[in-house]
Structure 1
């Protein structure tokens, strides 16, 4: 009996290896710029083409499906979510279709739906003028300005008072953020909710606590979040309502929210497992791998039956450094030997350039720990990360600061592949 064929868009070699290890024949579509030879042994077929080139990937995948059908279309990366939904509909396959994946990728569309349904309403404007923005901040006290699509805190800026409107507007223009939205700045504890759905039934797997240090880029996570039973119930109710509203059918979802004084409010949501190694935290604490469970939807009606209660806690702390050229990295061995540490990953070395913390890609690595409870896990992660010192010296000043387009070009992505298709 031949193995079930599945289509996997994007992702690193480890993601594809998991699918192959489960016995699936993987048809992997990857951008040439992201090709890793390590993926080859895990692929039944490898297509090196830009999966964000919607007309091309649609034509190629449709032709392949006619000759050798695939059972499902999967992706574990944000850049391919909307394309995966489009292909699911195009091929007539089960799973989350274009409407759902688009709503969870298009932030103004999601906010408009939630506000219309009365699901944790949040004041918002899309592409306001400067004076509209000023009036919005004056009315609501503070705001957050961000792109209409994207992830990793790319292009996100807080506006805490009317006095900050003009500097924020100048930054937006300089950064090249043409399609943007503003929302009331939500105050409270930041969380994300990791769920898994099967046949339209949603199961909350874990609630993740977050630390941004008062900024917009996440500096740490912990599973489980230290919140009360009452708060957990409110969070579960809100997230379930959100997933029902967008029509999520199957697979993981990662919903970011803030526990405000008026109850939980959604920041954004995605039809994928959480990034930032949250899947590792969930696996350590709850004993399940959401990436593997996603692929198993191609063979099982419900890959995660029953309950998966937390056993202990796990935390991750991201490494940051002063902007400049790295001169030395020390303390790695000490961090690896520290209490509770299960993984240390330092992604910079002498000669590399560290940028100011513009988005998640500017972090320098991480330390991951496991402990008996959330407070201990967070403390040990901070301590272990503090053992690693990344020394830098000032770099030559850049003539022109990086724009949104520059940063996206570095990772070979566009925010809206369908807009690119319409203008091609």
Structure 2
């Protein structure tokens, strides 16, 4: 039986792996433990797998006792640990150099620019003054941490006030470097792909709705694109994944279609979040989450997209910051034809935070329809049916980066702890000193 080490997986993902006949050893952080995981696993271990030194010692010992065939993580926080352990144990899969290239936005941008793959002006800054100089040369910019997902810490900047505010946020968050890039203008998409033996197959292109901000408010599969636009986005994505060295597994590549052509925003060696895999499966019948585990059992049959069976869209629920005092319209929304799911992530009495990253959204609606335009319209109408009423509060509604990461029990760069020099041992006491 193929033996898999799964890092940071949710129970519903473990259920998919179990259905494939895999033996699962699951590692999860204690704060994120789910008792249901034990139903699908031969072992469940609770420790901080982002502590790479600890993870290396424990997983190496487990592997020595009963070897693993592959290490898999479908969680953003598990990407670096899984790649690191893959290298340490000499297992097949994407190694650390590949995953780190995709995880580190500056490293990926440098690679793409050096190869001439959709060049984008960018630099790393350590003070607000270089941001102002960048604005003078390139106009409006986007400032972001070098790592992270879910639009965490991403800001659009057009003037000195914005640059100073972004830098103040960085200092408050304990960051000493930020990535500044020229602002790309145009419709946004993501490419959902699966790679096997270095061959990339595009499963779907997803259309995105941000409402003019940085946080994604909706997705639709398939994206409303012409054939030539789809070909250009596909070619750019394949070139980027080739450059990064990705050889196996799912990838989620975000793209903006500018007047100069498509440009990469970022890419990840995992499936997309925000229920995008569910949209893909509804439309194309391809389960990217199961495939991420199935690759451990041998070559994967072609995942090349077949003609879409209609369209599927998701729209996220948002509300004014403050305390939730009333929620209405949920049952009415659920009765609308075409609705697959209405999910609320807040309840009366909860605090709605200012919309700064994906986890500040209040829920979602997922629908199907005959085509993309109809799906987008239906999702928007269903979302409007759900009303979340709040009242203002005196406490701050915008969370700090530290508060967000603490709530998620996450660190942005687990490699930093691994690479940190070990402090020297204190000198031994004199032989006659009592300790």
Q: If the length of structure 2 is used for normalisation, what is the TM-score?
A: 0.94
> In the alignment, what sits opposite 1:421?
418
- Secondary structure of residue in 1 paired with 2:166: helix
Q: What does the per-residue CA deviation read over 1:77-121, in whole Å, with 9 as the maximum and x for residues that have no partner?
A: 111111111111111111111111101101111111111111111
Tell whether 2:28 aligns with 1:36: no
Which whole-Å CA distance do the structure 1 matches of 2:165 and 2:145 have between them?
A: 17
* Pairwise CA distance, 1:406: 1.6
> In the alignment, what sits opposite 2:402?
405
* Pairwise CA distance, 1:69: 1.2
> In the alignment, what sits opposite 2:425?
none
Which whole-Å CA distance do the structure 1 matches of 2:328 and 2:236 have between them?
A: 44
- Secondary structure of residue in 1 paired with 2:292: helix
Counterpart mapping for 1:21-420 below 5 A: 21-162=19-160, 164-305=162-303, 307-398=305-396, 402-420=399-417
* Pairwise CA distance, 1:163: 5.4
Q: Which runs of 4+ in 1 moved over 4 A?
A: none
Q: Is the Cα–Cα contact under 8 Å of residues 323 and 352 in structure 2 kept in the other structure?
A: yes
**After alignment, is 326-335 or 193-202 more displaced?**
326-335
Which whole-Å CA distance do the structure 1 matches of 2:400 and 2:366 have between them?
A: 32
Which whole-Å CA distance do the structure 2 matches of 1:309 and 1:160 have between them?
A: 42
C-alpha RMSD over aligned residues: 1.4
* Pairwise CA distance, 1:167: 3.4
* Pairwise CA distance, 1:287: 0.5
Q: Is the Cα–Cα contact under 8 Å of residues 25 and 43 in structure 1 kept in the other structure?
A: yes
* Pairwise CA distance, 1:176: 3.9
Relative to structure 1, is the Cα distance of residues 117 and 306 closer, same or farther in structure 2, using a 3 angstrom cutoff?
closer
Which whole-Å CA distance do the structure 1 matches of 2:306 and 2:175 have between them?
A: 42
Which whole-Å CA distance do the structure 1 matches of 2:125 and 2:15 have between them?
A: 42
- Secondary structure of residue in 1 paired with 2:390: strand
Which whole-Å CA distance do the structure 2 matches of 1:141 and 1:363 have between them?
A: 30
Higher Cα radius of gyration: 2
Which runs of 5 or more residues in structure 2 are unaligned?
A: 423-435
- Secondary structure of residue in 1 paired with 2:297: coil
* Pairwise CA distance, 1:177: 3.5
* Pairwise CA distance, 1:22: 1.2
Which runs of 5 or more residues in structure 1 are unaligned?
A: none
Q: Is the Cα–Cα contact under 8 Å of residues 105 and 146 in structure 2 kept in the other structure?
A: yes
Which whole-Å CA distance do the structure 1 matches of 2:388 and 2:313 have between them?
A: 21
**After alignment, is 63-72 or 197-206 more displaced?**
63-72
- Secondary structure of residue in 1 paired with 2:143: strand
